[in-house]
Amino acid sequence: MDADVLLLARAQFGLNIGFHILFPSLTIGLAWILLYFRIRYARSGDPAWLATYKLWTKVFALSFAMGVVSGITMSFQFGTNWPGFMQKVGNIAGPLLAYEVLTAFFLEATFLGVMLFGMNRVPGWMHIVSAAMVALGTTLSAFWILALNSWMHTPAGQVMDAGQIIAGDWMRVIFNPSFSFRFTHMMLASGLTAAFVIAGLSAWRLLRASEDVSARGTLRTGLVLAAVLAPLQMFVGDLHGLNTLEHQPAKIAAIEALWETQKGAPLVLFAVPDDDRRRNDFAIEIPKGASLILKHDGDAEVKGIDAFAPDAPPVAPVFFAFRVMVGLGTLMLVLGWGGTWMTRGGALPPRWLLWTLAGSTFAGWIATLAGWIVTEIGRQPWLVTGVLKTAEAAGGASGAQLGASLTGYIITYAVMLIAYFVVLTHLAGKGTAA
């Protein structure tokens, strides 16, 4: 297969999955927050909670639709772009995807109709059940897709039967070594994404109308949620990293920009990794730092890229994306704690904080995308670690076909994303007053 065509196929799939991941990562968290708003309304009967619920339902419905349509695209691109993937590991990937459709997609899609349009048609408890089913559906969806994704990173439970890879033990396939870390990490990422979208859009509203009580309430909800989830995420992220060191050490070498295996490996804080010459320029290092963090022993040996070449990932994108993710995680922690402190007792935070929060509305998205780049580029050249390489899975689509459809997707996604931002700022600007 032509290297350029493979690159186009990867670019197209990367674009689609990168576009898609934005919306589920928001709606999974938002679905549970909506359920919370809905229950608060049911318990208090306060119309302000109802207005809050309705406003955020609009944001949810819009984001959910974006996720659904880009998700349908994904289900087709497995076949159109990566036929080799299905031929080789279809007996494992197929059933996991089928379970996602069966247990999650129908559940969330059907109850979404009742949740969005059925408030006056069903009893209150039934409406709450519908909202809960939608939240459950989004979470189940993440469960299955992350089971598959984790299996691709850390395959387990498969056996060979007459030249085919099949599942020998489905429990081991699903609960593979990295699954619990990845699933928890993604769930927390979704919660943080939703928390910052809520806090950011509420701050945007308060900048225009500081008297809006409902926006003050949701700002507080978002900040408190962020304050709780951000430290949890750091803890889980660290565990996830140690799990990766055990199962995908090449990814860790790329994250640390460690070219050569060495004892007492330094922690590279910043550098410009050069993949061609295999070295770091402008490096700022802490001596023995990497050995200390990864092995809890300053003189321990840490494997570098040289231990895995040529089956090693490109270093620069993984290295930079990791630092973006961690940097944003730290920012979220500071904003969550600081914001929670400054809004205690229902106080209106100063305008500079509101501006900062409004500017951080999509911090969760950027961190999620960065994390996704770390983990997915970090496993290259493997598509399924040790089993199937990305280049072996590509299909027969020509460069012209890929180019034409890629152009179509880019235009469509650009239109959708611009419209999404316009509507979101518009909705947030009006608040519950609309």
Partner 1 sequence: MNLDLPLIFAALMGLAILLYVVLDGYDLGVGMLMPAADAREQELMVASIGPFWDANETWLVLGVGILLVAFPVAHGIVLGALYLPVAAMLIGLMLRGVAFEFRVKAEGWHRGLWNWLFWFGSFLASFAQGLMLGRYVTGFHPGFGYYLFAMLVGASLCGGYVLLGATWLILKTEGALQKKALAWARWGLLWVALGVALVSLATPVVSQTVQAKWFDFPRTLALMLLPLATLVAGWRVWASTGRLKRGEREFDWMPFAAAVAIFALAFAGLAYSLFPYVVMDRMTIWEAAAHPSALKFVLAGVAIVVPFLIAYTAFAYRVFRGKARAGLYE
Residues at the interface with partner 1 (CB under 8 A): 58, 61-62, 64-66, 68-73, 75-76, 78-80, 83-84, 86-87, 90-92, 94-95, 97-99, 101-103, 105-107, 109-114, 116-118, 121-122, 133, 161, 164, 166-167, 170, 395-397, 401, 404-405, 408-409, 412, 416, 419-420, 422-423, 426-427
| Cβ–Cβ < 8 Å for 340, 227 | yes
Query: Nearest approach, Cβ of 327 to partner 1 (angstroms)?
Result: 32
Query: Nearest approach, Cβ of 69 to partner 1 (angstroms)?
Result: 4
Beta bridge partners of 280: 273
| Cβ–Cβ < 8 Å for 15, 409 | yes
Q: How far apart are CA 233 and CA 134, in angstroms?
A: 24
Query: Nearest approach, Cβ of 256 to partner 1 (angstroms)?
Result: 37
Nearer to partner 1, 87 or 330 (CB): 87
Nearer to partner 1, 93 or 195 (CB): 93
Nearer to partner 1, 98 or 342 (CB): 98
What are the CA-CA distances from residue 315 to residues 250, 258, 287, 307, 424 (Å)?
Answer: 10, 9, 20, 14, 36
On the CB side of 154, CA atoms within 13 Å amount to 24
331, 332, 333, 337 alpha-carbon torsion, rounded to 10°: 110
Query: Nearest approach, Cβ of 427 to partner 1 (angstroms)?
Result: 7
Strand 382-384 versus strand 301-302 pairing type: unpaired
Two tokens, residue 38: 């809905």
| Cβ–Cβ < 8 Å for 27, 64 | yes
| Cβ–Cβ < 8 Å for 60, 138 | no
Query: Nearest approach, Cβ of 10 to partner 1 (angstroms)?
Result: 16
Rg (CA), the chain: 23
Nearer to partner 1, 351 or 430 (CB): 430
Q: How far apart are CA 190 and CA 1, in angstroms?
A: 37
Query: Nearest approach, Cβ of 82 to partner 1 (angstroms)?
Result: 8
Listed residue (285, 19, 270, 251) closest to 154, CA to CA: 251
Nearer to partner 1, 110 or 180 (CB): 110
First to last CA, the chain: 55
Nearer to partner 1, 262 or 412 (CB): 412
Query: Nearest approach, Cβ of 121 to partner 1 (angstroms)?
Result: 5
Nearer to partner 1, 7 or 61 (CB): 61
Nearer to partner 1, 59 or 332 (CB): 59
| The residue to which tokens 């460069």 are assigned | 399
Nearer to partner 1, 164 or 330 (CB): 164
Query: Nearest approach, Cβ of 16 to partner 1 (angstroms)?
Result: 9
Query: Nearest approach, Cβ of 321 to partner 1 (angstroms)?
Result: 27
**3-state SS assignment for residue 362:** coil
